[in-house]
Structure 1
Amino acid sequence: MSPDDMRVHAAETLDGLGGFAEPWMREAFLKVPRHAFVPDTVWVWRDDAYRPLRAADDPGAWAALVHDPLASVVTQVDDGAAGTEGTLPTSSISAPNAVFTMLAAADVRPGMRVLEIGTGTGYNAALLCERAGAANVTSVEVDAGLAEVAARRLAEAGYHPRVVAADGEDGWPPEAPYDRVLCTASLQRVPFAWVEQTRPGGLVVTPWKTTLQPHGMVRLRVADDGASASGHFDQPMSFMDLRGQRRPDSPLGQVYSAASWEESRESRTVLDPSFLDTDFHARFALGLRLPGVHWSDDGWLATTDSWAYVRDGHVRQWGPRDLFGELERAYEWWREAGSPELYDFGLTVTADGQTAWLGSPGTVIPSSG
């Protein structure tokens, strides 16, 4: 099957899933040659590590992965330092269904000025060129090597947006103001520079997460005075981390020891924390209440100075924080609030920081710790 045929087949799959919110998206998907933006070597998780999959070695598997409408493709691991295996995915070409979910949220229209944070392979920038026009698209990539390759692939495919090698957290002031700022990497703090560089009424759209819940996306509209941006959380998305805001690994290994186990406090609970693995909306809500708290599905909560372990109603804790008590109180708050979903929550970003809220910006969510 040719790349064009594989793209048509993928488009039909996305049709069945309602993956194209507007006709232009399907047209752009069929026009932009996705495979032309993917390196010959990609990375797949196998035997507890990322290992190379080379088009020259297995062209069928490479092509099937590249054109899978529901799969992202890891194109770099360990910031490009990996040899025959890697541990941390650091760049990718996102799954088409995720790409078009974000583009639908961004509501990009012809002639709009767009700033993309995270060029990656250049594929998303090509789609933006199809919609907004290449002269209106600026794409910033923190990895200079990736930026150079993406610019070349874009040009070879007939697209000529501005591709800049720089730290995307600073935006790109020379082309501001923008109508849309679209980030293709996940973060925990929305840089106010993006708000400053977006015109009043414009949108900032980015994947957003907490340490407890790594899936989320927020759609912020800039206020008329340009001093803030607010909006609700949207479809849950999982993207690679913005390089300057990588989600830290659980600190459990640093705070737990045999001695701390012997010193730990014991108690009982009727709350089964397995809901954190089964109820996405509860986990998102509790992540807002418990910043910096990590959960693992084997029963551990951890922060940089405390840990808690629960099994069969028995709790052991160590450190200055009552982590499981905080979890119980946050869960009770969520239930008393009517078990709100992800979409009921929102975020406001100002020069002083960001604030999460429930329902409207006036109902600020208190945090523990």
Structure 2
Amino acid sequence: MFPEPWIERAWRAVPRAAFLPEVVWVVDGPTYRPLHRGREPERWAQLVDDPGQAVVTQVDDGAPDAAGGDVPTSSVSAPNAVVDMLAELALQPGQRVLEIGTGSGFNAALLAARVGADRVTTLEIDAALASGARRALLEAGYGGVTALEADGERGWAPGAPYDRIVATASVASVPWAWVEQTGPGGLILAPFRTAFCSHGLVRLVVSDQGTASGRFVGATTFMSVRGQRARPRIDAVFSAESWDASRRSRSAVDVDLLGTPHAEFAVGMRMADVAHWAQDGAHWWCGPDSWAFAAGDGTTYQWGPRDLADETAAALDWWDRAGRPELFEFGLTVSEHGHRAWAGDPERGWALGVG
């Protein structure tokens, strides 16, 4: 489980259970319900010990209703995901680290066990979570960590430059502040999503010229940073009138191929601002100003200035002609002027439409 000795030492030194609240949240049908440590100690302990299980510590930004919670908004990540990210950071003692998304404080403590508590700054946008993390860090012996209530998208300029910036929430656009606040040769590690497909961990190296570039090193899904939660909404563009005015054709999309993970990721990198989902054998697409629907029999309806089903077919064709590159062959370059995605060769990239 542990790819490096220091990670095992840190893991054994930092008690995960000490960073979990007395009440966590578990799926119960269509909602999340509270699980109290005092009432269900065995179930609570099982969540702590499961290496593949994230533990949801907050729902609905801390304001669930009496019936339960709808959306998880903070968690302690699954141990295997935490370990993988620590390995990708290639941390060395004494390096300065900025963490985006403190959550419970557990990951910040692991970082501190490697580089020193006074070398770690962690940012949490939620006031209640930030307060709880500071308390847990202090009680666990890592009170030297600088744990701040702040918007992580802005980074923390007073502590810059950093050797490492690591995000524990996904972004659809890497904030330029992160690049500016990372020293030359430093790393930025962040879960990255597109509206189409949300599962990539990107590892960027900051150059002397102030750009950041690197490959995707894993397939992972995290909750989004609060400022980047918005995605295209079908109810913003679809209506009975737009259905009547839609263009009808036969779908050219190979939906079986689209359902494979690497193909879906590739199409997402070509159509980053378009959401896609399957529904009862049919498929929907939704962009900022267009939508498309492919019925199970292949009949396709498209509306708006873009033909989203046709764009998907073209993206799949590009992926096939490119030799079907896997997620790990894709990369991202971030500059002051925007994002460029690429597969294989960074010099042959394309502008990534992100929001």
| TM-score after normalising by structure 2 | 0.94
Q: Is the 8 A contact 2:23 2:35 kept in 1?
A: yes
For residues 328-355 of structure 1, the C-alpha deviation after alignment (integer angstroms, 9 at most, x for no partner) is 1111111111111111111111112211
How far apart in 2 are the matches of 1:368 and 1:67? Answer: 40
2:10 is equivalent to residue 28 of structure 1? yes
Cα deviations across residues 188-233 of structure 1 (Å, max 9, x unaligned)?
A: 11111111111100100000010011101110001023x2111011
Cα contact 1:117–1:171 (8 A) shared by 2: yes
Three-state SS of the structure 2 residue aligned to 1:297 is strand
Q: 2:240 aligns with which of 252, 258, 264?
A: 258
One-letter amino acid of the counterpart of residue 341, structure 2: A
* Cα distance in 2 for residues equivalent to 1:171 and 1:121: 19
Q: Secondary structure at the match of 1:36?
A: helix
SS across alignment from 1:233? strand
**Residue 52 (structure 1) aligned to one of 34, 42, 47:** 34
SS at match of 2:348: coil
> For the Cα contact (< 8 Å) 1:358–1:365, is it kept in 2?
no
Query: For residues 131-146 of structure 1, what are the structure 2 equivalents within 5 Å?
Result: 131-146=114-129
**Structure 1 residue 241 corresponds to structure 2 residue 224:** yes
Whole-angstrom distance in 2 between the partners of 1:208 and 1:233: 9
Contact 1:288 1:365 in 2 (8 A): no
Q: Which residue of 2 aligns with 1:16?
A: none
Distance, in Å, in 2 between the alignment partners of 1:104 and 1:21 is 7
The offset of 1:367, in angstroms, is 6.1
Is 1:211–1:247's contact at 8 Å kept on the other side of the alignment? no
Deviations 1:219-258 (A, max 9, x none): 0001023x2111011101111111111142x522332233
Match of 2:212 among 226, 229, 239: 229
Contact 1:41 1:53 survives alignment (8 Å): yes
Structure 2 counterpart of 1:12: none
| 1:110 alignment partner, one of 89, 93, 102 | 93
Indicate yes or no: 2:202 matched with 1:218: yes
Within 2, Cα distance between the matches of 1:265 and 1:295?
18
3-state SS of paired residue (1:217): strand
Coordinate RMSD, CA, aligned: 1.6
Give me the TM-score of the superposition, normalised by structure 1.
0.91
Deviations 1:14-73 (CA, angstroms, capped at 9, x unpaired): xxxxx3110111222122110110111111121211111111221111111122110111
Amino acid at match of 1:176: A
Q: 1:286 aligns with which of 267, 275, 283?
A: 267
Work out the CA distance in 1 between the residues paired with 2:112 and 2:252: 54
In structure 2, the partner of 1:182 is 166
Q: How does 1:171-210 map to 2 (within 5 A)?
A: 171-210=155-194
Q: Distance in 2 between matches of 1:338 and 1:287?
A: 17
In the alignment, structure 2 segments of 5+ residues that lack a partner are none
Deviation at 1:303, TM superposition (A): 1.5
Q: Percent identity?
A: 51
Matched residue, 2:327: 342
Structure 1: gaps spanning 5 or more residues: 1-18
CA distance in 2, matches of 1:194, 1:368: 19
2:262 is the alignment partner of 1:276? no
Instruction: Give the whole-Å Cα distance in 2 for the aligned partners of 1:24 and 1:138.
Output: 20
Change (3 A) 1:35 1:301: same
Q: Is the 8 A contact 1:230 1:349 kept in 2?
A: yes
For these two proteins, the number of residue pairs brought into alignment is 348
SS of the equivalent of 1:200 reads strand
Q: CA separation in 2, counterparts of 1:345 and 1:26?
A: 30
Which 10-residue stretch deviates more, 78-87 or 266-275?
Answer: 266-275
Cα distance in structure 2, aligned partners of 1:129 and 1:61: 29
Would you say the 8 A contact 1:140–1:163 is kept in 2?
yes
Report the AA paired with residue 349 of structure 1.
V
The match for 1:295 is 276
